[in-house]
Structure 1
Amino acid sequence: MNTATLSNTTKEVIHDLSPYLTEYTDGTIERFMATQNVPPSADDPTTGVASKDIMVSSPEVKARLFLPKLTDSNQKLPVLVYYHGGGFIVESPYSLLSHFYMNILAAEAKALIISVEYRLAPELLLPIAYEDSWTALQWVASHVIANACIEKDEWITKHGDLCKLYIGGDSAGGNIVHNIVLRAGVEPLPGDVKILGSFLSCPYFWGSKPVGSESKEDLKGFAYNVWMCIYPSAPGGIDNPMINPFTEDAPSLSGQACSRLLVCLAEKDAFTPRGILYVETLKKTGWNGEVQLVVVDGEDHCFHIFDPNSEKAKDLIKLLASFISQT
């Protein structure tokens, strides 16, 4: 047997993101964990929240909408555009975890939620997910324009109060929120719609230099490997401003296009030192908005999504709901 031929057909691992996926040199991707998806519901039996799936930009960008029970047929609600977590490689608005969490949050906040289905890496590398997320936000904002060239959604048109527009996300979704709210500072939304507030829960930020209690050894772990897989061409690598907001060439956090910001962290989460630094850095910029930092003792990454019925999760969800529904 020709050994040269054998070596050319042997697959080698270039990114091992176990237990989620492995990517090989021949371009194949092996996924190990299938997301358990659930259908939308006209009336969730626990919360009473209705949900439906819509196409934002065919066929690339989709979303699941969540509408809480209304007190009257013409009721107007705050609007939350939500970006799910999962390291840009897993999860979906249609997953059991995300769907359950959105039902609870929509009911608690009495808000209309648009949970965005952005395309995942490594099949589609960043910045695709950022572009999909921006497209979805533009589509939502376009509902204020009478002759907008979009297919409008009846729930948003009839019940969405786009003077109370929020964006939020967890983990990778928190990273997306950070980048979206900065982009909105230099690229106005359709109809000059403004983002009233944003929240980042356990946001995914990383970098090449230790922060807080981090060690140099920590920096080349899973969070680093994920970024190298999902955005291998990123200028600056792990210090690209989209993953590291604290680099010298990163845009100032003062450019955030919202007036209120809530950062929610978990004590045991590896991302927490950078979440704290994010708030400290923002305060030093002279940003004139209102910022609130919450660190939940004894909990780990995105605990409120994995177990939303725990007491600390319920408290955090109530806090998020209050943030969204505040007038």
Structure 2
Amino acid sequence: MATTTTTTTTTTTTTKEVLIDLSPDIIQYTDGTVERLFGSPHVPPSPEDPTTGVSSKDTTISPLISARLYIPKLTHPTQTLPILVYYHCGGFCLESAFSFLHHRYINLLSAASGALVISVEYRLAPEHPLPAAYDDSWEALKWVCSHADLNQTHFEKDQWIANHGDFNRVYIGGDSAGANIAHNIALRAGSEPLPGNVKILGAILSHPYFWGSNPIGNEPKEDIEQSLSYRTWVFVYPTAAGGIDNPMINPLIDGAPSLSGLGCSKILICLAEKDELTGRGLVYAEKVKKSGWKGEVEVVEVEGEDHCFHIYDTETEKARNLIKRMANFISQ
């Protein structure tokens, strides 16, 4: 049942009817407006970050998609770097590639890994329900890979990518919803070619947002439909066939595309002990290993920490160690 919220000032009284309340994250009203309760402010790119020395800039990929690019300090003018196409967290409806939290985090990851990072600003639900974010993320990856095709002349190439990107070392990755996107992009890359015949070398799935109707680990066993993870998926993808058991949110469900089709050579899965998503993440890792997929699976579970802890506070020892683990996965 819809509820109401009333805001009173000295001159006016405004009543808005709530359509969907996903507090403490987001509220949608019946008039179509959305109130985002969680997130960090947008910050500009840095010509040279004072902490890491990483330079960043913003670019437009298409009328619907933009990105923030990061490049670490070069050792020589013709140096080539591994490429990471990154998808931010936020439940498909919050946060941004341009937010303070992600800007700080990607600066650190780019510096530690020596990677050229393209942090994708995909469209958010509910204004743009899924599969918009999946489509935008795939188009952004194709745009990056198009720089490897010398015959591509229909767009103005970004010089950082064209001059310094190593297309033999292309990675995708993300945290939470972004890790879900990375998984689905890896599956798509296993069956659909990328421009320049580029192959994804590795994928980083950090605290991946997977869910389903059959509880795993410490997921809620009762009132499953009232859990925030369940309700968020229905909110961001109301037309998903199968609902919470759609293969894009539940890759473990019978009938989901085989994980043997993942289009990359290695996967790093990062989990946290206190995160309710961890049990499903561990089962996912085992299912990948047993699927017949020929790649390498690496799993790290951080004791005593919760969901995406390394983004919210990058200065703790455990956060620094996890970022270093991701960086080593990219740079090795």
Q: So what's the TM-score if we normalise by structure 1? A: 0.94
Which secondary structure state, in structure 2, belongs to the residue aligned with residue 147 of structure 1?
Answer: coil
Counterpart pick for 1:142 among 146, 149, 160: 146
1:74-223 superposed matches below 5 A? 74-148=78-152, 149-217=154-222, 219-220=224-225, 221-223=227-229
Unaligned runs of 5+ in 2: 1-14
Give, in whole Å, the separation in 2 of the partners of 1:79 and 1:103.
14
Give, in whole Å, the separation in 2 of the partners of 1:313 and 1:246.
29
Which secondary structure state, in structure 1, belongs to the residue aligned with residue 307 of structure 2?
Answer: coil
1:10-49 superposed matches below 5 A? 12-33=17-38, 35-49=40-54
Matched, 1:246 2:252: yes
Counterpart pick for 1:297 among 276, 299, 303: 303
Give, in whole Å, the separation in 2 of the partners of 1:215 and 1:232.
21
Give, in whole Å, the separation in 2 of the partners of 1:213 and 1:92.
29
Give, in whole Å, the separation in 1 of the partners of 2:138 and 2:47.
28
What are the superposed Cα offsets for residues 178-214 of structure 1, whole Å, 9 maximum, x if unpaired?
Answer: 0000001111101110000001000000011111233
Q: So what's the TM-score if we normalise by structure 2? A: 0.93
Matched, 1:228 2:234: yes
Give, in whole Å, the separation in 2 of the partners of 1:212 and 1:269.
10
Give, in whole Å, the separation in 1 of the partners of 2:105 and 2:265.
25
Give, as a single letter, the amino acid of the residue that structure 2 aligns with 1:188.
Answer: P
Which secondary structure state, in structure 2, belongs to the residue aligned with residue 259 of structure 1?
Answer: strand
Give, as a single letter, the amino acid of the residue that structure 2 aligns with 1:193.
Answer: V
Give, in whole Å, the separation in 1 of the partners of 2:141 and 2:175.
17
Equivalent residue for 2:10?
none
Matched, 1:237 2:243: yes
Equivalent residue for 1:3?
none
- The 10-residue stretch of structure 1 (223-232 or 34-43) with the greater mean CA deviation from structure 2: 34-43
Contact 1:208 1:219 in 2 (8 A): yes
- The 10-residue stretch of structure 1 (34-43 or 287-296) with the greater mean CA deviation from structure 2: 34-43
Equivalent residue for 1:6?
none
CA positional deviation for 1:27: 2.8
What are the superposed Cα offsets for residues 273-311 of structure 1, whole Å, 9 maximum, x if unpaired?
Answer: 110010011111121101001100000000111111100
1:269-308 superposed matches below 5 A? 269-308=275-314
Give, in whole Å, the separation in 2 of the partners of 1:279 and 1:206.
14
Inter-CA distance 210–256: structure 2 relative to 1 (3 Å threshold):
same
Identity rate of aligned residues, in percent? 62
Inter-CA distance 33–295: structure 2 relative to 1 (3 Å threshold):
closer
CA RMSD of aligned residues (A): 1.3
CA positional deviation for 1:30: 2.7
Give, in whole Å, the separation in 1 of the partners of 2:119 and 2:256.
28
Counterpart pick for 2:59 among 54, 58, 66: 54
What are the superposed Cα offsets for residues 44-75 of structure 1, whole Å, 9 maximum, x if unpaired?
Answer: 11100000000011x20000000000000110
Give, in whole Å, the separation in 2 of the partners of 1:21 and 1:80.
29
Aligned length: 316
Which secondary structure state, in structure 2, belongs to the residue aligned with residue 167 of structure 1?
Answer: strand
Give, as a single letter, the amino acid of the residue that structure 1 aligns with 2:32.
Answer: G
Give, in whole Å, the separation in 1 of the partners of 2:64 and 2:262.
27
Contact 1:197 1:261 in 2 (8 A): yes
CA positional deviation for 1:26: 3.9
What are the superposed Cα offsets for residues 64-111 of structure 1, whole Å, 9 maximum, x if unpaired?
Answer: 000000000110000000000000111111111000000000000001
Give, in whole Å, the separation in 1 of the partners of 2:107 and 2:42.
14
Which secondary structure state, in structure 2, belongs to the residue aligned with residue 40 of structure 1?
Answer: coil
Unaligned runs of 5+ in 1: 1-9
